[in-house]
């Protein structure tokens, strides 16, 4: 397996090439995030349900896996997982792994990592772990962890520093589900419903409104354009803990008309179709699934040079990359696309091809199934 997502094409694989093998894989996550990472995990599990791999869900009562369980009528074993010293949760996890006759444990995120790894070791089950960011990963190289899956270049480098290399390290991007993105409403109807005029250039960001997501940088960049007489419309289709603070900044900058909060939306495909530019101004490392979805539907994207976009966006071909936390650079990139419709169409037209090079849901699921089989059936990844 490749250890780099790279700016070159990822190895594409159709679902017909999947390894046919019956496996029971525990998907363990204690995170409560309402972000693109949550959507990535949900999409992976949905995809696995259509394969010969049976996902066994284990999460805290408030985790995203518990929410997924309720939404999809799939059982989720709920375990508190209050910390690495939570002995009752450790024994409960071990019991679930044994009773469910699990073949492999897949850990998502660091909150459940210590307990899940220890429970898997006690049950004699190998472990694979997925990371989007760059936490301390010293435990990765310890006994029981066969492989690491990384979705960003920063996470890959962190895993390499603790000895996860070669066949033990797998770079697999966040998946794009074209069926879910299929627009359900007419472009002009959506624009009209959100108050956009026919000649407005609409910028869309799907990033959760949380610290480190760069919405403040985006608003300051928008204010610079406004001062220059360029007034696009900004849709922020998300919610989060920084909403009140961001609304205050929006009003201070005089952007009450130009920038609007749409809330958390399920009609992502319709919003992308209705916009003209998709932007992710993040200053923290993330896969940035919204950027991939924007490219999939033929929209030019602007993102920062960190996390997933640093490798998924081909700068100058499918979108523009800017330094994180730099409103001047972001304003310049926005201006280039806002005033040049031909450039928007040129960059946007290349996005679907880029996404078809390994980012589609069936391709990402197939790579996970292949990895699972390599570890369990073929004895790969460090056995």
The residue whose two tokens read 């805290």 is 60
Band of residue 18 on the pLDDT scale cut at 50, 70, 90: very low
Band of residue 70 on the pLDDT scale cut at 50, 70, 90: confident
Alpha helices in 164-234 (DSSP H): 178-181, 187-193, 215-227
Take residue 119 and report the two structure tokens written for it.
């429970």
Give CA–CA dist 215/280, Å, rounded: 9
pLDDT tens readout for residues 144-189 = 678 889 888 888 888 888 778 778 899 999 999 999 999 999 999 9
Band of residue 10 on the pLDDT scale cut at 50, 70, 90: very low
Give CA–CA dist 204/277, Å, rounded: 6
Q: Which residues face 77 on adjacent strands? A: 58
pLDDT tens readout for residues 211-247 = 989 999 999 999 999 999 999 999 999 999 999 999 9
Cβ neighbours of residue 289 closer than 8 Å, sequence gap 6 or more: 36, 37, 39, 40, 174, 176, 206, 308
Beta strands in the chain (DSSP E): 23-29, 53-59, 76-78, 104-108, 127-131, 145-150, 169-171, 202-205, 233-236, 259-261, 277-280, 301-304, 319-322
Please report the pLDDT score of residue 367 as a whole number: 97
pTM given for the model: 0.88
Out of 46-60, 102-116, 324-338, 364-378, least confident range: 102-116
Kindly state the DSSP code that residue 175 receives in the 8-state scheme: P
Quote the mean pLDDT of the chain.
Answer: 88
pLDDT tens readout for residues 83-94 = 888 999 999 999
* All domains in the chain, ordered by first residue: 15-175+360-376 (3.40.50.2000), 178-355 (3.40.50.2000)
Do the beta carbons of residue 93 and residue 119 sit within 8 Å? yes
Please report the pLDDT score of residue 154 as a whole number: 84
Do the beta carbons of residue 90 and residue 115 sit within 8 Å? yes
């Amino acid at each position: 397996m490749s250890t780099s997502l790279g700016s070159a094409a990822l190895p594409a694989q159709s679902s017909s090439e999947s390894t046919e093998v019956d496996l029971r894989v525990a998907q363990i996550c204690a995170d409560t995030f309402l972000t693109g990472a949550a959507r990535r995990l949900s999409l992976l599990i949905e995809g696995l349900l259509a394969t010969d791999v049976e996902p066994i869900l284990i999460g805290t009562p408030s985790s995203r896996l518990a929410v997924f369980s309720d939404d999809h009528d799939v059982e989720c074993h709920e375990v508190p997982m209050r910390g690495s010293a939570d002995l009752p949760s450790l024994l409960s996890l071990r019991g679930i792994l044994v009773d469910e006759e699990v073949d492999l444990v897949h850990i998502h995120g660091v909150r459940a990592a210590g307990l899940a790894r220890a429970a898997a070791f006690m049950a004699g089950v190998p472990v694979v772990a997925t990371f989007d960011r760059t936490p301390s990963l010293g435990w990765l190289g310890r006994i029981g962890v066969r492989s690491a899956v990384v979705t960003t270049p920063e996470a890959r480098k962190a895993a390499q520093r603790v000895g996860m290399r070669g066949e033990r390290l797998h770079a697999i991007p966040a998946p794009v589900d074209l069926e879910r993105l299929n627009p359900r409403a007419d472009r002009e109807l959506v624009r009209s419903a959100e108050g956009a005029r026919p000649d407005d250039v609409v910028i869309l960001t799907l990033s959760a409104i949380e610290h480190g997501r760069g919405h403040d940088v985006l608003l300051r960049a928008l204010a610079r354009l406004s001062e220059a007489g360029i007034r696009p419309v900004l849709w922020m289709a998300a919610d989060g803990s920084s909403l009140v603070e961001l609304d205050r900044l929006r009003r201070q900058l005089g952007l009450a008309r130009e920038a609007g909060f749409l809330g958390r939306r399920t009609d992502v495909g319709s919003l992308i179709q209705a916009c003209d530019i998709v932007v992710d101004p993040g200053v923290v490392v993330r896969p940035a699934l919204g950027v991939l979805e924007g490219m999939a539907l033929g929209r030019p994207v602007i993102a920062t040079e960190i996390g997933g976009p640093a490798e998924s966006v081909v700068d100058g071909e499918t979108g523009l990359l800017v330094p994180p936390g730099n409103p001047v650079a972001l304003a310049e990139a926005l201006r280039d696309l806002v005033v040049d419709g031909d450039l928007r169409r040129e960059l946007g037209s290349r996005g679907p091809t880029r996404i078809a090079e390994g980012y589609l849901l069936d391709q990402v699921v197939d790579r996970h199934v292949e990895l699972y089989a390599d570890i369990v059936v073929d004895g790969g990844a460090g056995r």
